[in-house]
Structure 1
C-alpha cells in the first residue's frame, strides 16, 4: 500500500554521493544476485530511509484500514458474518504489528511511527479515507481492496529486505482468506434481491475510482518507483500492479453482471487495459489530509493511543502500578 507527503517529489539520488562507492557497489551486486538484506548488513542511508517509509506506511494502512470495516462489525447481517468480519479486522491489526516490528529493525521506534501517524507526518493508503455508507461498501473493501493488496504484496514478498519479505509471506496467506470472505459476501449480494444488487452496484460505483489509485501514482509521475525497483524493494511498478489487478478482477466483476463506472475500460488488441486516467489531484489531496474521512480516521487512532497509554505504562513500569494487597 502507498502514500506519502513527498509522493510526487523527486527522490534525492545525490544522497548516494556521500556513500562509500565500494560498499555501495557490493550492496547493489548482492541485490542483483537476489540476496536478502538483513538489519545488521551495511546499506545506504537512502535505502534505509526508503524501506522505513514503505514499511511504515504499509503498517499505518493496516491499522487505519481496519476502521472503515470495523464500524460494520455490529451491523453485519447475521452472527456468522459478524464473527467473520471481527476476525478479519483482528487480522489487519495483527498485520500492522508485524510490519511495525519489521520497520523497527531499521532503527525507527514504534512510538515514533505512531506519533508521526497521528500528527499527519507519515501517510497511509488513500483508499481508507472514504466512508462506508452501507454493508455493501464493507464487502467491496474486503474483496477488491484486499485483492489489490495481495497483487502488490505477493510481488514485494520477493523483494530485497528480509524482515519485510518474511512479514509479507504471512500477511499474504491471511489476506487470501480475507479476499475469499469478501468475494462470498459480494456474490451473495449480487445474486440476491433487486435491492441487494442495487446496494452492491452503488458501492462499486463509489469505490472504483479510489481502487484505481490504490497502487499509487502512474509510473510517469511516481517519485519513488525508480529507486525502489532498482533496489528490489518493489518488484513491480505501480502500473504493472494495476494492470495485473484489472486482468484478474474485472472479468470476475463482469461475471456477476455488475458494471464498472468507467466507459473507457477495455482491453486493447495488445492485451493492455485502457481506462480513464485517475484523478491524481484528488489522490494527492486525500494523501495529504484533505479527504472525506482523514480527520475522523486520525481522531480515532489518536483516541486509542491516549486511552491505551496507561496499559503501555503498566507494561513498561509495572512497579508504578503495583498495589499492595490488603493484609
Structure 2
C-alpha cells in the first residue's frame, strides 16, 4: 500500500513539474526535477561546454599564422570567447552534477576516456586560412541556429547562459564572414582556396545537427529534449533552417556547393540534399576523426600541466 502511495506521489510531482514547464516557468538548480530531465541536461550541457573548449583548438592553430595583425587579434579574441563560453557552461552543469558527487574533474576524465563527446566539426583539420573563415561563418552560424533554438529552455541557468553566448556568437559569425569576403574578393588562388575549404566542410556542416529522427527508432535524445521544452525544433528542422539561411549567401559569393542533388522543393518548402555518411559521423563521435587524437592529446597535456593551478586554488 505504501509503495502504491509513493508511486502516486512521484507521478503527481512529475505532473506538477510538466505543468510548470508548460506554463513557461523556469526550473532552477535546486528545484525538484525528474531524473530523466536532469540526466538529459547533464549530457546536453556538458557536451556543449566541452565543444566550446575543443572548438577553440582548430582556430588556435591559426593564431600565429593569421595573415595580418588585425586578423591575428580577431581570431585571438574569438578563441578567448569560446573558452569563456565553455567555462560558463561547465559552471552550469556542475550544479546539476552535485547530487552525484561529481564535478569538473570528472567531466574532463570523461572527455579523455571518450565517454564525453564533442561536436563532429571540431575533429576536422584546418588546412588553410579559409578554414578559419568557414568555421567563423558557417560552423558558428550553425551553432547560432542550434543555440537560439534553446534560448527559452525550461532550465533557467542554461537559458540565461545561452543569451550571453548567442550574443557573442553573432560577432564570431561576422568575423568569419569578413574573412570569407576578403578571400573571395581577392586573387584567383584565394577564391580557389575558399572553394576547396567549402568542399571539405560541407558534409561536416550537414552532420553538425545530427541525424533526423526516424519514426521506426522510437524515442530519441531530441524527442526527450523537446518533451521537456529544452529545445523546440528537431535536428532536421534546424538543418533545413541552416540550408535556407546560408545556401543563398554562399551562392551569392560565387561559390559552388559540392552537392549536385541540392534543390529546393516548393511543394514541401524544404531542401533536398545528399545525405552525409552517418557511419562516418559515428566514427568521428567515437574520437576516430581526422584530428581527434591530436586535439584530445593537446587538451590532456594542458590539463595535466596546469594541475598545480587547480591544487593551489583548493
Task: Please report the TM-score for the alignment, with normalisation by the length of structure 1.
Answer: 0.90
Which segments of 5 or more consecutive residues in structure 1 lack a partner in the other structure?
A: 1-16, 317-327
Which segments of 5 or more consecutive residues in structure 2 lack a partner in the other structure?
A: 1-6
Confirm or deny that 1:186 pairs with 2:183.
no
Confirm or deny that 1:51 pairs with 2:45.
no
Structure 2 counterpart of 1:299:
297
- Alignment RMSD, CA only? 1.3
Confirm or deny that 1:234 pairs with 2:231.
yes
Q: Aligned equivalents of 2:293 and 2:231: distance in 1?
A: 30
The Cα of 1:195 is off from its aligned counterpart by: 0.2
Structure 1 counterpart of 2:70:
80
Confirm or deny that 1:204 pairs with 2:198.
yes
The Cα of 1:193 is off from its aligned counterpart by: 0.6
1:173 to 164, 167, 173: 167
Structure 2 counterpart of 1:134:
128
SS at match of 1:105: helix
Q: Which stretch shifts more, 55-64 or 227-236?
A: 227-236
Q: Aligned equivalents of 1:147 and 1:182: distance in 2?
A: 9
SS at match of 1:273: strand
The Cα of 1:295 is off from its aligned counterpart by: 0.9
Answer 1 or 2: higher relative contact order, Cα 8 Å, separation at least 6.
1
The Cα of 1:233 is off from its aligned counterpart by: 1.1
Q: Aligned equivalents of 1:232 and 1:180: distance in 2?
A: 30
The Cα of 1:274 is off from its aligned counterpart by: 0.7
Q: Aligned equivalents of 1:262 and 1:35: distance in 2?
A: 43
CA contact (8 A) 1:218 1:238 kept: yes
1:26 to 16, 23, 27: 16
Count of residues in correspondence between the two structures: 300
CA contact (8 A) 1:19 1:44 kept: no
Q: Aligned equivalents of 2:211 and 2:109: distance in 1?
A: 26
2:119 to 125, 128, 136: 125
Q: Aligned equivalents of 1:126 and 1:111: distance in 2?
A: 23
Higher helix share: 2
The Cα of 1:226 is off from its aligned counterpart by: 0.9
Structure 1 counterpart of 2:278:
280
Structure 2 counterpart of 1:64:
54
